[in-house]
Structure 1
């Protein structure tokens, strides 16, 4: 199960990376179009869709690597059972919020498909297509938070502090 979950998080991160490459392609296409006097409609909109997809698809991988921004002032002041209780409370709250967000993101994509909602930009893209990236990223994030909560409850969660937070610049 651990390999499956880690593969899910890594796969979502790879999709996020592909989205970033897509953003680069859209920006380069737009620049080349201006230089060579041709226009590809929708490059701005597609760059935005891909950027949103990249952001959402990378959330779970970032969480699992301990790179999300956390305010640890209170938790670090605690020790023992109080610290563990605070961690569990924070993970419960985050899991609940992530699950609600995943539900409504998936619902938004589904409703956009049902209502044939299209972009108001000149590309007229059906909005459920770019919303899939947000929904999938939110669902994978919710799974990652459930994973973190279960690991914490079982006492197997790693409490690594990223090296970047140790620097004081």
Structure 2
């Protein structure tokens, strides 16, 4: 099960990286269009969709690598027993919030599909297509938070601290 979950997190990170490359291509094409006098309609909208996709699809992978911003000042000030209680509480709150976010993201994409909602641009992109990346990212983040919550309850969660956060220059 661990390998499957890690593969899901890594797969979403790979999709986020592809979206980031697509964003770069869209921006470069837009810049080239301004320089050489041609216009690719809808390109700004697609760049926005790709930016959102890269952000949402990378959430779970970032969480599992310990790269999310954490306020550790309080955790360092309390003992191990309180620290574990705070970790369980924050993970539970994260699971609940991510659950709501995942539910409403999936619901939004589903309703956009049902109502045939399209973008207001001249390309008239069906909005459920770019909304899928947000829904998928939110669902996988929920799974990652549930994973961490269960590991914390079992006492098997490994705290990964970002090396960059430890450098005080």
TM-score interval (norm. to shorter): over 0.9
Give unpaired runs (5+ residues) of structure 1: none
Alignment RMSD (CA, Å): 0.9
The 5 Å alignment of 1:4-153 reads 4-153=4-153
In structure 2, how many angstroms separate the alpha carbons of the residues matched to 1:21 and 1:160?
Answer: 28
The equivalent of 2:2 in structure 1 is 2
- The corresponding residue for 2:165 is 165
Q: Deviations over 1:4-55 (max 9, x none)?
A: 0000000000000000011011111112222222211111000000000000
Runs of 4+ aligned residues of structure 1 deviating over 3 Å after TM superposition are none
Matches of 1:160 and 1:132, distance apart in 2: 30
TM-score (normalised: structure 1): 0.97
Cα distance in 1, alignment partners of residues 140 and 33 from structure 2: 36
The gaps in structure 2 that reach 5 residues or longer are: none
**Take 1:12 and 1:161, find their aligned partners in 2: how far apart are those partners?**
22
Counterpart CA distance in 1 for 2:3 and 2:85 is 28
